[in-house]
Structure 1
Amino acid sequence: MQLVVARIGRAHGVRGEVTVEVRTDEPELRLGPGAVLATDPVTAGPLTIATGRVHSGRLMLRFEGVADRGGAEALRNVLLIAEVDPEELPDDPDEYYDHQLMDLDVVLADGTEIGRITEISHLPSQDLFIVERPDGSEVMIPFVGEIVTKIDLEEQRAVVEPPAGLLDPAEAETAAAGDEAHGERTAAPEPDREDGAR
């Protein structure tokens, strides 16, 4: 199975080094020197990592055969793809690969169907499940422990306890109007990040 593990960013310096946007929780495993990665577009690769280092909080890579800034710039926005055994599991039992979570049914604790996961969006602050509802509409559910209370791969489902308004914006507006009528309005706390999807 192929998984996108990074996207190449800008060239850095004049010796072929590039910044990369990491899309895996295991960069030391997937993006280490010697790793051979497929690419999207296919014509850009495969690429073999020659060196890697962290500079100002960003991962920098240099690939074999790419020795100057021009060669590095030509790789900008190329996706790096690793071949992963579909049976492989993360070391942490509370973490999951994207392919394990795709197509899971999303339900409330009482079994009420919400939809199914069609995409996982990795944002700087947290990961989001993009869930397609039975009527074809989509809802975004933050992948944090307070909301996604259980992932059951055997049953192929994710159990959620969404806060008011997450699934039904009209519900949130009604609640906000009620708070204003009582002279108080409470902002929802920022959810903590919980790295889970890879």
Structure 2
Amino acid sequence: MAEVLVGRIGRPHGIRGEVTVEVRTDDPQARFAAGSVLFTDPAAAGPLRVEGSRMSGQIRLVAFAGVSDRDGAEALRGLRLLVDTDDLPQSQDPDEYYDHQLIGLTVRDRSGAVLGEITDVLHPPAAPVLQVGTEAGEVLVPFVAAIVPEVDVAGGFCVVDPPEGMFSPQADPDDAPDAADPG
């Protein structure tokens, strides 16, 4: 069974067993709906069944079956919440991907030269960003069609058309010649 992260339990909220959850899914209403069962990392702590979920401002609060007080909620702190990838709905949009589908893809340029491998997908406020491991280190690539024109999950690769210098090793300032040194 392959699993994907949908959230991480934070601190307890109140005295009735609710916890804050750092949401890591684009469909929190479905993932944290009453009755949903979530696997945990570490696995011995779960699975957990959602009793209820609500928003408090910008914070998602979740209540789990069998957790009725602050001590029980505190025991869950730090758990990673997971779902089986087979339970995820298939997207009708051919240009929409789950993070786990992208991680591990080989990154090539338009000529077919291998640039690296996707090691993570980050989600800052603007657009997703692919973290690409290269021989020279990590490179962050905005996941937009202008820069990533092709993704072939079945083929195990994606094509990037990076701006000049994106995959060039950065010069180390300590290696630059000293302007005062004539030689």
TM-score range, shorter chain: 0.7 to 0.9
Q: CA RMSD in A?
A: 2.4
Once the 2 structures are TM-superposed, how far is the Cα of residue 37 of structure 1 from its aligned partner?
1.2
The whole-number CA distance in structure 2 between the counterparts of 1:35 and 1:26 is 13
Distance 1:61 1:87, change over 3 A: closer
SS in 1 for 2:86: coil
The whole-number CA distance in structure 1 between the counterparts of 2:23 and 2:8 is 7
Once the 2 structures are TM-superposed, how far is the Cα of residue 152 of structure 1 from its aligned partner?
1.9
State the partner residue of 1:139.
139
- Of 63-72 and 22-31, the range deviating more from structure 2: 22-31
Q: Which one-letter code corresponds to 1:120 in the other structure?
A: V
The whole-number CA distance in structure 2 between the counterparts of 1:86 and 1:16 is 27
Matched, 1:148 2:148: yes
Cα contact 2:107–2:157 (8 A) shared by 1 = yes
SS in 1 for 2:149: strand
Q: What is the CA deviation profile of residues 51-91 of structure 1, one whole-angstrom value per residue up to 9, with x for unaligned ones?
A: 01112022110001111122112211110111221895334
- Within a 5 Å distance, the mapping from 1:33-52 to structure 2 comes to 33-52=34-53
- Within a 5 Å distance, the mapping from 1:89-100 to structure 2 comes to 89-100=90-101
The whole-number CA distance in structure 1 between the counterparts of 2:48 and 2:26 is 20
The whole-number CA distance in structure 2 between the counterparts of 1:31 and 1:95 is 22
The whole-number CA distance in structure 2 between the counterparts of 1:72 and 1:87 is 27
The whole-number CA distance in structure 1 between the counterparts of 2:52 and 2:89 is 26
Quote the sequence identity (%): 45
The whole-number CA distance in structure 1 between the counterparts of 2:39 and 2:102 is 23
State the partner residue of 2:31.
30
The whole-number CA distance in structure 2 between the counterparts of 1:129 and 1:119 is 6
Distance 1:144 1:10, change over 3 A: farther
Structure 2: runs of 5 or more not aligned: 174-183
The whole-number CA distance in structure 2 between the counterparts of 1:114 and 1:144 is 17
Distance 1:47 1:121, change over 3 A: same
The whole-number CA distance in structure 2 between the counterparts of 1:92 and 1:44 is 35
State the partner residue of 2:83.
82
Q: Which one-letter code corresponds to 1:145 in the other structure?
A: A
Q: Which one-letter code corresponds to 2:47 in the other structure?
A: P
Cα contact 2:105–2:117 (8 A) shared by 1 = yes
State the partner residue of 1:60.
61
The whole-number CA distance in structure 1 between the counterparts of 2:89 and 2:73 is 32
Structure 1: runs of 5 or more not aligned: 174-198
State the partner residue of 2:113.
112
SS in 1 for 2:76: coil
Aligned residues, how many?
Answer: 171
Q: Which one-letter code corresponds to 1:147 in the other structure?
A: I
